[in-house]
Amino acid sequence: MSLIVDFKSKFPGFDSAKVDANWTLISELQPCFYNFVYGGSDCTDQAILFLLAHLFVGFTDPTYSGSDAFRKFSSKSVGSVSVSYSPASGVPSQLQEFYGSTPYGTTFLMLIRPRMGVFAG
């Protein structure tokens, strides 16, 4: 299967039309963040799919727009809906902050951790 078909299959909750409209941007950015080829191995493929989901959320979800893109919040309100949570203790690195802003980015980090060596965080 192709990368976009696999992505839509893995993440059926994403709007298919929105995926199609943003696919070129998102898929062209992927090698800049993780320079492995899709189709190389199951682990690499899963990492790429989660990375793409993370980038997709960051670039298409209006709650991540502007200066708020890819940042964790202790609270956020949109209309009558409010969400609060406590960020991880300590000062996260920029890498942890960037990827930790979505569950997809967090999963991506977990999948590539064996390739990163020892990770203290």
Which helix or strand (DSSP H or E) is residue 82 part of?
strand 81-84
Supply the pLDDT for residue 62.
67
Nearest to residue 17, comparing CAs of 32, 36, 4, 6?
4
Query: What stretches in the chain show pLDDT beneath 50?
Result: 65-69, 86, 117-121
Q: Cβ distance 111 to 46 under 8 Å?
A: yes
Angle (CA) 113-19-58 rounded to 5° is 50
Residues in the chain: 121
- Other C-beta atoms within 10 Å of 60: how many? 17
Supply the pLDDT for residue 59.
82
Query: For the chain, which residues make up each domain, given as ranges?
Result: 3-74+87-116
pLDDT, tens digit, for every residue of 90-120? 555 777 788 888 899 999 999 998 665 444 4
Q: Which two tokens stand for residue 2?
A: 């192709």
The single residue listed with the structure tokens 């969400």 is: 83
Supply the pLDDT for residue 23.
94
Supply the pLDDT for residue 96.
79
Supply the pLDDT for residue 82.
64
Q: Cβ distance 8 to 19 under 8 Å?
A: yes
